[in-house]
A and B are shown apart, each in its own frame.
Chain A
């Protein structure tokens, strides 16, 4: 029974991380495109995508916090869901995210040599790349082998 709970929470956590990645993508990308697409219809569509992204993000973050509170009560569950393989994957994901952000900054530098890139846009892209690369890398490393 306890083993099933561990697997259930592990799977739920993975699904919620994917949800967070989707939510952040919708939210940030619509935020970025809002400055470049004008017109009532486009603005309406982008606003809808932004709200949908926010809702998905909020739901998934709350669910992750809920899982964390649930497993905190059970030390065995907590130890299993933070075992060395998972911590190893997290470390690899963070390292990979650093290189993704570094690469995107290098790309932005070279693009900026030819056309001016607004600083706010660059920041949004870097934040999006950083968060997405950690989440996607972690889910990738944490997959069934």
Chain B
């Protein structure tokens, strides 16, 4: 999976839930730098970590993460 094609809404949902990177990191059991790298699209989290993140915000993983096709077409669940 190309990291550049995987985007996320972590920052948006953090703001909605009034969570800092540090508090979010503590909730799911990682460090703040880990959240930072996931947010910036540098690191692709595992399925387990993605599910943990989604559960904190009480949303689905697909709402939190988005993967675009190589030719620029957005591939969302229909």
Q: What is the interface of chain A, defined by CB distance below 8 A to chain B?
A: 2-4, 6-7, 10, 76, 79-81, 83-86, 88, 142-145
Choose from A4, A79, A85 the contact partner of B33 (Cβ within 8 Å).
Answer: A85
Q: Are B26 and A145 in contact (CB under 8 A)?
A: no
Tally inter-chain residue pairs, CB-CB below 8 A: 55
Compute how far the CA of A7 lies from the CA of B31 in the bound complex, rounded to whole angstroms: 7
Q: What is the interface of chain B, defined by CB distance below 8 A to chain A?
A: 22-23, 25-26, 29-34, 36-38, 40, 42-43, 45-46, 49
Q: Are B43 and A80 in contact (CB under 8 A)?
A: no
Chain A neighbourhood of B22, CB < 8 A: 3-4, 7
Compute how far the CA of A42 lies from the CA of B45 in the bound complex, rounded to whole angstroms: 52
Main SS of the interface on chain A?
helix
Choose from B29, B37, B40 the contact partner of A80 (Cβ within 8 Å).
Answer: B29
Minimum CB–CB distance from A140 to chain B (whole Å) comes to: 13
Choose from A4, A79, A86, A145 the contact partner of B42 (Cβ within 8 Å).
Answer: A145
Compute how far the CA of A142 lies from the CA of B38 in the bound complex, rounded to whole angstroms: 13
The 9 closest A-B CB pairs, nearest first, are A3-B26, A83-B30, A85-B34, A145-B42, A145-B37, A3-B22, A79-B29, A10-B31, A80-B29
Chain A neighbourhood of B49, CB < 8 A: 83-84
